[in-house]
Amino acid sequence: MSFRALLFLSAWMFATGIFGVLSRRHVVALLLSIELLFNGVNLALLTFAWAYGALSAASLAFLGIAVTVAEVAVGLAIFLLVVRLTGKAAADELKQLAG
C-alpha cells in the first residue's frame, strides 16, 4: 500500500474518465465515464482519510457514493426517455441545447 501510488491511480482514473466524457459518443458510455470520474475522486478522498486521518474526507466519499447512485438512476431514466423520443443514443446528435 503506497500513498503516492494510490494518488497516481486516482489521477489516472480521473484522466481516463475525462477522456471518456469528452470523446465517447454513446450516452451510456458517457455515464460510465462519469462513474470513472467519481471513482477516481472517491479513491483520492479515502486515501486522504486513510493517510491523514481526515474523517471529513471519508464522510464526503460516503455521501459521494450515494449521490452517484442517485445520479445514475436519473441519468439512465433520461437516457431511456431520450431514446424512446428521438431514437438516438449518440450524445453529439442531440443538439437541442445549441445557442
**Residue 64 CB, nearest distance to other proteins (Å)?**
10
Task: Rule CB under 8 A: say whether 56 interacts with other proteins.
Answer: yes
Task: Rule CB under 8 A: say whether 86 interacts with other proteins.
Answer: no
Place of cell 460510465: 32
For 60, the 3-state DSSP assignment is helix
- Cβ-contact 30, 60 below 8 angstroms: no
Residues 10-29 that bind other proteins (CB under 8 A): 10-26, 28-29
**What residues are paired with 26 via a beta bridge?**
90
**Residue 54 CB, nearest distance to other proteins (Å)?**
9
